[in-house]
């Protein structure tokens, strides 16, 4: 893909996993990038350094996505430093592989706050700015795990499909203002965790649901993000798109 300098992207959860892969991929494509992280300074500085060496402007900021005020401040500061944000990629989220019966109330609230409220806070501030300019793209990273009863037990499986539903609803409201909103379903193994960590009995069943019979990777998700943000795909909106080697959604 040819580089188009001057474009600005905002990436949440950009210090590790899919977020870090997305920061590096978009930097390689010529995007200036503001990304968020939380309590992960060393990894954030590494991602910032790698992206900066590709000749773009990049800033990593410690942001609590569950705090609407912090998210709004981060968005405004990024636009002041880098320019109008043309793309937002929501990668931040929590995953805890544990049966729902063992989840404490505080853990559940933490998961909802980060994986759903965090997406809402970022998308709300971004879509208002984009609608005023009548252009922009938003991508949320969802999951297909809740669709398969043989996936490893975990309460993340209930929040990620919620992100996909939120994405479709926002797309229907924003499309008339020239703003596209899509979700990507990375499937197992792509969220920065080694596929080998999935229990053997569950991994065998999961592999049978994947078209190419192998686990996806963070890099593949980042590649799909970059493709959606490419100039030749502006009309795609309201879609939940799968990574080719991940489970279908």
Domain assignment of residue 171, yes or no: yes
- The whole-angstrom separation of Cα 139 and Cα 25 is 15
CATH number of the domain enclosing 28: 3.40.50.720
Nearest CA among 130, 111, 113 for reference residue 121: 113
Domain assignment of residue 42, yes or no: yes
Lowest mean pLDDT among 27-36, 206-215, 233-242: 206-215
Q: Provide the 8-state DSSP code for 192.
A: S
Domain assignment of residue 1, yes or no: no
Domain assignment of residue 249, yes or no: no
Residue 144 confidence (pLDDT): 41
Q: Structural domain of residue 69, as residue ranges?
A: 8-242
Residue 212 confidence (pLDDT): 33
- The whole-angstrom separation of Cα 130 and Cα 115 is 22
Domain assignment of residue 26, yes or no: yes
Residue 242 confidence (pLDDT): 77
Domain assignment of residue 115, yes or no: yes
Sheet harboring 58-62: ordered strands across? Answer: 58-62, 32-37, 8-12, 87-90, 136-141, 179-185, 240-242
Domain assignment of residue 16, yes or no: yes
What contacts 55, CB < 8 A, 6 or more positions away? none
The per-residue pLDDT for range 98-125, each reduced to its tens digit, is: 666 777 777 777 677 777 888 999 999 9
Nearest CA among 39, 184, 194, 47 for reference residue 119: 184
Confidence of residue 129 (pLDDT cuts 50, 70, 90): very high
Residue 173 confidence (pLDDT): 94
Domain assignment of residue 93, yes or no: yes
Two tokens, residue 149: 């009863």
Two tokens, residue 87: 């793309």
Residue 188 confidence (pLDDT): 53
Nearest CA among 126, 124, 157 for reference residue 142: 157
Q: Give, to the nearest 10 degrees, the angle between helix 218-229 and helix 17-28.
A: 50
For the chain, the domain total comes to 1
The per-residue pLDDT for range 48-94, each reduced to its tens digit, is: 999 999 999 999 999 999 899 999 999 999 999 999 999 999 987 65
Residue 134 has pLDDT above 70, yes or no: yes
């Amino acid at each position: 893909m040819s580089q188009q300098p001057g474009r600005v992207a905002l990436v949440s959860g950009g210090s590790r996993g899919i977020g870090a892969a997305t920061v590096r991929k978009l930097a390689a494509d010529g995007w200036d990038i503001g990304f968020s992280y939380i309590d992960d300074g060393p990894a954030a500085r590494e991602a910032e350094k790698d992206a900066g060496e590709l000749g773009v402007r990049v800033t990593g900021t410690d942001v609590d996505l569950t705090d609407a005020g912090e998210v709004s401040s981060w968005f405004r500061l990024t636009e002041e430093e880098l320019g109008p944000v043309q793309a937002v990629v929501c990668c931040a989220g929590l995953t805890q592989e544990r049966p729902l019966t063992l989840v404490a109330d505080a853990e559940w609230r933490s998961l909802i706050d980060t994986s759903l409220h965090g997406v809402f806070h970022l998308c709300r501030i971004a879509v208002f700015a984009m609608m005023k300019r009548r252009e922009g793209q938003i991508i949320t990273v969802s999951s297909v795990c809740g669709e398969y009863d043989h996936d490893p037990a975990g309460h993340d499986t209930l929040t990620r499909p919620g992100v996909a539903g939120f994405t479709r609803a926002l797309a229907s409201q924003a499309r008339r203002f020239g703003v596209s909103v899509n979700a990507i379903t990375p499937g197992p193994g792509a969220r920065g965790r080694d596929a080998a960590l999935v229990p053997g009995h569950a991994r065998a069943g999961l592999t049978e649901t994947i078209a190419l019979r192998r686990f996806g990777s963070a890099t593949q998700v980042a590649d799909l993000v970059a493709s959606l943000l490419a100039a030749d795909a502006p009309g795609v909106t309201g879609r939940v798109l799968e990574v080719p080697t991940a489970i279908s959604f």
